[in-house]
Amino acid sequence: MAQLALHRDVLFQSRTLPKKVHKKLVELVRKFEEDHTQASINLEKLEMAQDSRVRSARLGDDYRAILIAPEEGSTYIVVYVDHHDEAYQWCKNKLFLENKRLGYFHVLNTDIINLSKEQDESIENCSQYPLSALSDEDLFYAGIPKVLIPSVRAVKCDDDFERLADFLPEEAKQILYGIACGLTLDVAMEETLGIQLSTISHETISGSESTYYSNLIFIEGEEHLREILQGDIAEWRLFLHPSQKRLVEWNIQGPMKVNGAAGTGKTVVLMHRAQWLARQIKPNEKILITTFTKNLAVTIKGLLGQMIPEHMDNIDVINLHLLAKNICHKTSFNLRTSDDKTVTSMLRQFLSDMPVTTEFSHNFILDEFYEVIEKMSIETEGKYLEVLRKGRPRIKRTQRLSLWPIFVEMKAFLNKEGIASFEELLRMALNEVENSQHPKYKHVLVDELQDFSLTALGLVASLSKLDGSSSNPLCLVGDGHQRIYSNTQVSLRHAGINVIGRSRRLKINYRMSEQIRNFAHATIAGLSIDDLDEGVTNTNGDRSIFKGASPRVLKVTSFQQAATEIANWIVDIKSSSKGNIKDHEICITSRSRYFIDSLNREGVDIYELQADKQDPGETAPGIRYGTKKRVKGLEFKAVAVILNGNSTERKALLEDYVAISRARDFLLAITVEND
């Protein structure tokens, strides 16, 4: 029985095809499953094509599907659909190349093969360009098809590379981009695809290879294709980059860490890994997915419910605070928990009533209490004197000695009031897990790792089977660029979680255009970003897979003027997109919700994103509005951001980064000078 696979470009193309063609494609799947040689398919070899494997199949009287016949096996690949004449004309100058080792199926326009002959001879002296140092064998190992090696050989500068890049297989282009940015071939392949050069041999290329392709969908029957064509299955569920796929199915002993900038698909990897693990566990085993914020937990639970509804009884998706609360409520827990604002207000009043005078402001004392004492789980004066206070202002030993009695009094006050802070709740939950027969999870997956405190890390470690009795016990995902709830850098090593040799960084951005990605990183230029385990993040070689419009950057003198500019910008982008951007795909964000009144006065129809609830999508009309913390974890085609003024405060800059990185195609960034 023959099978059909769909090239990614056909999925995008299908959005403009008539519904009758969708029906014919579904019929084609059924007919292939029955007998792909039946006359009604009219499967014909096209002699005018340069590639001998090209076939056409009838889709009614006037449309044709262009397919690639297998050299071995029984899978035909649909690569193009169009009117009869246009379809035949399209395939005339195409070659269809596959690289099973790197996981790509590439459609090559043969006109580019002659590009090397058209290069300007005036640049021949640029022999120091990084790609010039690669041998033909290196280029082949990097995924460059042999027919394109001469074209790559002719690249002598960045402009040459940019002209050639769109014709290269996506995975090979990403590797060469890393090398052009200064990475070695070995590092570029490992960071881009998770492949080490030392593991590649001639035998690998011609022998048994992976059959996963990042840009192909293998159709599993008529209903599967119907859902795809109707848009019922999100693109991120259909396509994974090879680097993501390897992390999803990485079978290891011990904990693993995945980090990467916003838009690199970390949460996508986590959800697909949860799906992969769920399909292997026994009925009595459980998986835990936990996040720092409620919003992300709600989002992940909803999406997993669509992906693997049959496994959701075996998966607990819960945010960190509720996880700890549930554990404590199974014990003799007799403290009440309050939100951070309430606890801070009580502590501020307590400090005002204290007779002790100090050289430090109440704001500093509160920050030190939350960021160091609580986050680093400091229980004694000695520990406080020794602790590394990363991200905090430097203070002397004598100053720490003067502060410690105040912290002791603050803790005693909360205990007397019967209130458990968030960190105290985590400590109690950790103590319960460590000192009881609390069941462990088969697999634990953590998102928003950058916001987890030392105690929080200890809790997820205690809930995991880190004793070696189970493979894939703990997967930790995060990004130091998005640490907007705390400045404290907590290392995994201090929590007893060893990820040496089991850490990977995602470098390819799928959400943001290259222009928006560059703007986002420019907002935090000069900030040192940690890798979540005492190292520094290296963004060299990071890039987006597509380009778009340059961000629009404005300075205004009032919030009402900002609202006017946003209203005009919305009209502009909706007009230029010709209906391809809907209201629910546009988001406006600022530091707090006070800006809504200004937008309402401009006639902007707003739908405010609710805390702890999923965005209902197109079923709820209105331009989305949310604070910068609320929109974290979401993405939109267009985003308007009210920047945090001229602030140089670290968390304010990172908040701007998070907000900007929600945008895919269009970005409006506004500074209100009188903010």
What count of residues does the chain have? 675
What is the spatial distance between Cα 665 and Cα 550, in angstroms, rounded to a whole number?
A: 9
Residue 671 has a pLDDT of 94
Residue 529 has a pLDDT of 93
386: exposed, middle or buried (Cβ count in 10 Å: 0-12, 13-18, 19+): exposed
What is the spatial distance between Cα 177 and Cα 93, in angstroms, rounded to a whole number?
A: 27
CATH code given to domain 240-329+438-510? 3.40.50.300
What is the spatial distance between Cα 193 and Cα 206, in angstroms, rounded to a whole number?
A: 19
Residue 234 has a pLDDT of 65
pLDDT in tens, 7-56: 988 888 887 889 899 999 999 988 988 888 899 899 999 999 999 999 99
Q: What is the DSSP string of 134-146?
A: --HHHHHHTT--G
Cα–Cα nearest to 32, from 224, 194, 181: 224
Judge contact between 214 and 241, C-beta under 8 A: yes
Residue 210 has a pLDDT of 42
Lowest-pLDDT range, 127-131, 414-418, 670-674? 127-131
> Chain-wide mean pLDDT for the chain?
87
Average pLDDT over every residue of 457-476: 93
Decide if pLDDT at 203 tops 50: no
**pTM of this structure:** 0.81
pLDDT in tens, 574-632: 998 877 899 999 999 988 777 888 888 888 889 999 887 888 888 899 999 999 999 99
CATH code given to domain 549-672? 3.40.50.300
| 3-98+211-229 and 549-672 share one fold | no
Residue 201 CB neighbour total at 10 angstroms: 10
Residue 198 has a pLDDT of 44
Residue 578 has a pLDDT of 79
pLDDT in tens, 152-170: 988 888 888 888 888 888 8
Residues making up the binding site: 260-267
- The DSSP bridge partners found for residue 444 are 288, 474
Residue 420 has a pLDDT of 82
The residue written with tokens 């009188």 in the block is 674
User: CA of 126: how far to CAs of 115, 162, 183, 522, 559, in Å?
Assistant: 18, 16, 19, 29, 50
Domain parsing of the chain, residue ranges: 3-98+211-229, 118-206, 240-329+438-510, 339-420, 549-672
Decide if pLDDT at 199 tops 60: no
Joined tokens for residue 221:
């029957």
Residues making up the binding site for ATP: 260-267
Residue 422 φ then ψ, to 5°: -55, -45
Is beta strand 586-590 parallel, antiparallel or unpaired with respect to 636-642?
parallel
The percentage of residues in the chain with a pLDDT greater than 90, rounded to a whole number, is 52
Is beta strand 104-109 parallel, antiparallel or unpaired with respect to 336-337?
unpaired
Query: Which stretches does DSSP call E strand in 38-136?
Result: 44-45, 54-59, 63-68, 75-83, 94-99, 104-109
Decide if pLDDT at 286 tops 70: yes
Domain 3-98+211-229, architecture per CATH: 2-Layer Sandwich (3.30)
What is the spatial distance between Cα 171 and Cα 514, in angstroms, rounded to a whole number?
A: 16
Residue 110 has a pLDDT of 82
